[in-house]
Structure 1
Amino acid sequence: MVKVNVKIVSIQDADKFSKICSKYDCDMDLQNDKYYVNAKSIMGIFSLDLSKILVLDADTDDEERVKKDFADFIQ
């Protein structure tokens, strides 16, 4: 499992983020405090408080790929 802190600041960011997540065959979750949502769901992303740093939980061991694909969002 790979965990990285990410920041999504706009509608375009949320769309791009969910599309990148959809390319993965594993579970991708976003955490905000005690709330978890499917990171592949744009509606799930918008249900979180985007003014805060989010935690991406990727159920993969390929940390390099995750960090490369989400480089624009990593905090």
Structure 2
Amino acid sequence: MAQITIRLNTLGEVKEFNAAANQIAGDVDLRSGRYCVDAKSIMGIFSLNLGRDLIVESTAVTEEELRKRFAVYLAE
């Protein structure tokens, strides 16, 4: 499973991230602490604590592909 750590700081970033996640064929999850939501669900994203770093996980793409798609949100 591929995973990266990101940070979403604004409402616009959340919307852009959600749109990019929806372009991936397959599952994309977003974790904050012990909570995990579907990254393709904007309501799910807003249920997380966006003040923390978030972990994006996917079995559909490689870590390199995740880094490329979500480069502007990387927390590292």
1:17 paired with 2:12, answer no
Moved segments of 4+, more than 4 Å: none
In the other structure, the counterpart of 1:65 is 65
The answer for unaligned runs of 5 or more in structure 2 is none
Distance in 2 separating the partners of 1:53 and 1:40: 18
Cα RMSD (Å) of the superposition? 1.0
In the other structure, the counterpart of 1:29 is 29
1:46 paired with 2:46, answer yes
Q: Secondary structure at the match of 1:72?
A: helix
Q: Secondary structure at the match of 1:14?
A: helix
TM-score, scaled to structure 2: 0.92
Distance in 2 separating the partners of 1:44 and 1:26: 17
